[in-house]
Protein backbone atom coordinates (compact mmCIF):
# COMPACT_ATOMS: atom_id res chain seq x y z
CA UNK A 1 0.00 0.00 0.00
CA UNK A 2 1.32 3.42 -0.93
CA UNK A 3 1.90 6.03 1.74
CA UNK A 4 0.52 9.48 0.97
CA UNK A 5 1.82 11.30 4.03
CA UNK A 6 1.91 15.04 3.44
CA UNK A 7 2.49 17.71 6.07
CA UNK A 8 2.93 21.37 5.12
CA UNK A 9 4.02 23.92 7.72
CA UNK A 10 2.82 21.62 10.49
CA UNK A 11 -0.64 21.02 8.97
CA UNK A 12 -1.54 17.45 8.01
CA UNK A 13 -2.82 17.50 4.42
CA UNK A 14 -3.07 13.71 4.12
CA UNK A 15 -6.86 13.58 4.49
CA UNK A 16 -7.34 16.57 2.13
CA UNK A 17 -5.37 15.14 -0.80
CA UNK A 18 -7.10 13.30 -3.62
CA UNK A 19 -5.00 10.14 -3.49
CA UNK A 20 -5.07 9.39 -7.23
CA UNK A 21 -3.48 12.79 -7.91
CA UNK A 22 -0.50 12.41 -5.52
CA UNK A 23 2.74 12.54 -7.56
CA UNK A 24 6.38 13.10 -6.68
CA UNK A 25 9.32 13.68 -8.97
CA UNK A 26 12.94 14.80 -9.08
CA UNK A 27 14.20 17.71 -11.17
CA UNK A 28 17.91 17.61 -12.05
CA UNK A 29 19.84 20.83 -11.41
CA UNK A 30 22.94 21.18 -13.55
CA UNK A 31 25.90 23.52 -13.32
CA UNK A 32 26.41 26.10 -16.02
CA UNK A 33 28.12 24.59 -19.02
CA UNK A 34 31.75 25.49 -19.44
CA UNK A 35 33.67 25.05 -22.68
CA UNK A 36 37.34 24.36 -22.25
CA UNK A 37 40.01 25.50 -24.68
CA UNK A 38 39.90 22.14 -26.46
CA UNK A 39 36.22 22.78 -27.38
CA UNK A 40 34.73 20.25 -24.96
CA UNK A 41 31.62 21.35 -23.06
CA UNK A 42 31.45 20.26 -19.41
CA UNK A 43 28.22 20.14 -17.40
CA UNK A 44 27.83 18.57 -13.98
CA UNK A 45 24.75 17.44 -12.11
CA UNK A 46 24.70 19.46 -8.90
CA UNK A 47 21.68 17.82 -7.24
CA UNK A 48 18.09 16.72 -7.70
CA UNK A 49 15.30 19.02 -6.50
CA UNK A 50 12.17 17.34 -5.20
CA UNK A 51 8.73 18.21 -6.50
CA UNK A 52 5.30 17.13 -5.30
CA UNK A 53 1.96 17.64 -7.07
CA UNK A 54 -1.52 16.93 -5.78
CA UNK A 55 -5.16 17.95 -6.03
CA UNK A 56 -7.20 18.71 -2.95
CA UNK A 57 -10.62 17.22 -2.36
CA UNK A 58 -13.44 19.79 -2.01
CA UNK A 59 -13.16 21.34 1.46
CA UNK A 60 -15.41 23.45 3.64
CA UNK A 61 -14.52 27.13 4.25
CA UNK A 62 -12.62 26.41 7.49
CA UNK A 63 -10.40 23.71 5.99
CA UNK A 64 -9.89 25.84 2.89
CA UNK A 65 -8.61 28.67 5.06
CA UNK A 66 -6.25 26.36 6.96
CA UNK A 67 -4.91 24.89 3.70
CA UNK A 68 -4.46 28.31 2.08
CA UNK A 69 -2.62 29.77 5.07
CA UNK A 70 -0.29 26.76 5.24
CA UNK A 71 0.47 26.91 1.51
CA UNK A 72 0.88 30.69 1.42
CA UNK A 73 3.36 30.76 4.30
CA UNK A 74 6.41 30.56 2.09
CA UNK A 75 8.77 28.98 2.05
CA UNK A 76 6.83 25.88 3.11
CA UNK A 77 8.38 23.28 5.36
CA UNK A 78 7.12 20.05 3.83
CA UNK A 79 7.30 16.42 4.96
CA UNK A 80 6.12 13.99 2.33
CA UNK A 81 6.53 10.43 1.14
CA UNK A 82 8.64 10.37 -2.03
CA UNK A 83 7.28 7.67 -4.33
CA UNK A 84 10.53 7.36 -6.34
CA UNK A 85 12.87 6.68 -3.44
CA UNK A 86 10.22 5.13 -1.14
CA UNK A 87 11.24 7.28 1.81
CA UNK A 88 10.06 10.27 3.82
CA UNK A 89 11.56 13.58 2.76
CA UNK A 90 11.76 16.87 4.66
CA UNK A 91 12.20 19.83 2.33
CA UNK A 92 11.78 23.58 2.02
CA UNK A 93 9.48 24.24 -0.92
CA UNK A 94 7.48 26.96 -2.67
CA UNK A 95 4.36 27.10 -4.85
CA UNK A 96 4.21 28.97 -8.14
CA UNK A 97 2.89 32.54 -8.29
CA UNK A 98 -0.33 31.70 -10.18
CA UNK A 99 -1.34 29.12 -7.56
CA UNK A 100 -0.49 31.58 -4.78
CA UNK A 101 -2.84 34.14 -6.35
CA UNK A 102 -5.65 31.58 -6.57
CA UNK A 103 -5.12 30.54 -2.93
CA UNK A 104 -5.09 34.18 -1.82
CA UNK A 105 -8.43 34.73 -3.55
CA UNK A 106 -9.91 31.62 -1.90
CA UNK A 107 -8.68 32.80 1.50
CA UNK A 108 -9.94 36.35 1.02
CA UNK A 109 -13.40 35.31 -0.18
CA UNK A 110 -13.73 32.36 2.22
CA UNK A 111 -14.74 30.12 -0.66
CA UNK A 112 -15.25 26.40 -0.60
CA UNK A 113 -12.51 24.49 -2.33
CA UNK A 114 -13.68 23.63 -5.82
CA UNK A 115 -11.82 21.03 -7.80
CA UNK A 116 -8.85 23.00 -9.02
CA UNK A 117 -5.79 22.23 -11.05
CA UNK A 118 -2.89 20.52 -9.34
CA UNK A 119 -0.93 22.28 -6.67
CA UNK A 120 2.79 21.83 -7.21
CA UNK A 121 5.44 22.46 -4.59
CA UNK A 122 9.05 22.68 -5.74
CA UNK A 123 12.08 22.37 -3.51
CA UNK A 124 14.29 25.42 -3.20
What is the chain's pLDDT, residue by residue, as a tens digit (124 residues)? 456 788 899 888 888 888 888 888 998 888 888 888 888 888 888 888 999 988 888 777 777 778 888 888 889 999 998 888 888 999 999 988 888 877 777 766 655 555 556 788 899 8
Give the range of the structural domain holding residue 75, as residue numbers without chain letter.
Answer: 6-123
Asked if residues 72 and 94 have their Cβ atoms less than 8 Å apart, the reply is no
- The C-alpha atoms of residue 47 and residue 35 are separated, in whole angstroms, by 21
Q: Tell me, what's the pLDDT at 32? A: 81
Q: Taking the model in full, what pTM does it have? A: 0.73
Domains contained in the chain, number: 1
Residue 108 lies in a domain: yes
Residue 1 lies in a domain: no
Residue 56 lies in a domain: yes
- The C-alpha atoms of residue 106 and residue 26 are separated, in whole angstroms, by 29
Amino acid sequence: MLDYTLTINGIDFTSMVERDSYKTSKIPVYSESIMTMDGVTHVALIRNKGEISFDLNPQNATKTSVACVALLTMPCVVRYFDLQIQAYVNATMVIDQQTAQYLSRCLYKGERWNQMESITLTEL
